[in-house]
Amino acid sequence: MPTSVKERPMLITLTGPSGTGKSAVISALLSQDPKLRRFVTATTRTPRPGEEHGRDYYFMERGEFEAGVAKGEFLEHNPNYNGNMYGTPRWEVERLFEEGCDVISDINAIGVRLFEAAMPKRIFKLLILPPNRERLEQRLTKRNPELADEGRARLQQLEADMDNLHNPSYVFTNPDMIGTTYGDYDVVLVNDVLEHTVAEVAKVITNERAKRGQ
Ligand code: 5GP
């Protein structure tokens, strides 16, 4: 798509397998870029230890979420990811856009597709990948020992995708990236050293703002 039709504020999606460091990248970017805000999404899943309503997610009951969907209150939603619903409240993004901020969040591939249809001029799609299987395994298991079993299960599920991370014709299968290929994203990054990744994403965002020229 020609850059001339792209607009600001932009909606930046950061997609990637669990344990790749998406949240850490977003937190670091927010602390250094006053024009960037994280949009908080909604989910029906149970909060994990340390997660807060309104900061990490808007935690909702299924009935409340379904009623919101029926009323068209979500810009996009994913009705079933590991048995839970996830979605982006329209008012959350509109509020931040009105303040003139670019927005970013951690969104799975299904959401990226829906955003692309809903706001093709605003979306900017980033894919973040782990450097290799060993590093992903370390992050999924050691970072949070209580999640070790869940981490190993996720890793097994990711096996084929990990072997094909940089293969442009391979269609990803894990739920975070399902149905997309490397080429479906505007920028693909490998999160090896966090500070380097953050610097790279910051540069990519600066360049994209300049291209959009607003
Ligand atoms: P988790 O439950 O581990 O926080 O997130 C699971 C997945 O849901 C991640 O891939 C994350 O990117 C995705 N996700 C979080 N919020 C949303 C949302 O509002 N819409 C969509 N489509 N995906 C989301």
Residue 141 CB coordination number (10 Å): 18
* Averaged pLDDT, 44-71: 96
Q: Which residues line ligand 1 (CB under 6 A)?
A: 18, 41, 45, 76, 78, 81, 86-88, 106-108, 110-111, 176
What is the residue with the minimal CA distance to atom 19 of ligand 1?
A: 87
Q: How far is the CA of 213 from the centre of ligand 1 (A)?
A: 30
Round the average pLDDT of the chain to a whole number and report it: 91
What is the residue with the minimal CA distance to atom 2 of ligand 1?
A: 45
Separation of alpha carbons 148 and 117, rounded Å = 37
pLDDT at 5 over 70: yes
Q: How far is the CA of 84 from the centre of ligand 1 (A)?
A: 10
Q: Which atom of ligand 1 is nearest to the CA of 14?
A: 12
| pLDDT attached to residue 214 | 63
* Averaged pLDDT, 185-206: 96
Q: What percent of the chain has pLDDT over 90?
A: 75
Whether 1 and 207 have beta carbons less than 8 Å apart is answered as no
* Averaged pLDDT, 201-207: 97
| pLDDT attached to residue 162 | 86
The full set of domain ranges for the chain reads 1-35+100-214, 40-99
97-152: per-residue pLDDT in tens?
999 999 999 999 999 999 999 999 999 999 999 988 888 888 877 766 666 777 77
Q: Which atom of ligand 1 is nearest to the CA of 15?
A: 12
Q: How far is the CA of 110 from the centre of ligand 1 (A)?
A: 9
pLDDT at 8 over 70: yes
* Averaged pLDDT, 187-211: 96
* Averaged pLDDT, 176-189: 94
Torsions phi, psi for 169 (to 5 deg): -100, 0
What is the residue with the minimal CA distance to atom 12 of ligand 1?
A: 107
Of 74 and 156, the structure prediction assigns the larger pLDDT to 74
CATH code for the part of the protein at 1-35+100-214: 3.40.50.300
Q: Which fold has domain 40-99?
A: Guanylate Kinase phosphate binding domain (3.30.63)
3-state secondary structure the chain: CCHHHCCCCCEEEEECCCCCCHHHHHHHHHHHCCCEEECCCEECCCCCCCCCECCCEEECCHHHHHHHHHCCCEEEEEEEECCEEEEEEHHHHHHHHHCCCEEEEECCHHHHHHHHHHCCCCEEEEEEECCCHHHHHHHHHCCCHHHHHHHHHHHHHHHHHHHCCCCCCCCCCCCCCCCCCHHHCCEEEECCCHHHHHHHHHHHHHHHHHHHCC
Label the pairing between strands 42-43 and 84-89. antiparallel
Of 18 and 41, the structure prediction assigns the larger pLDDT to 41
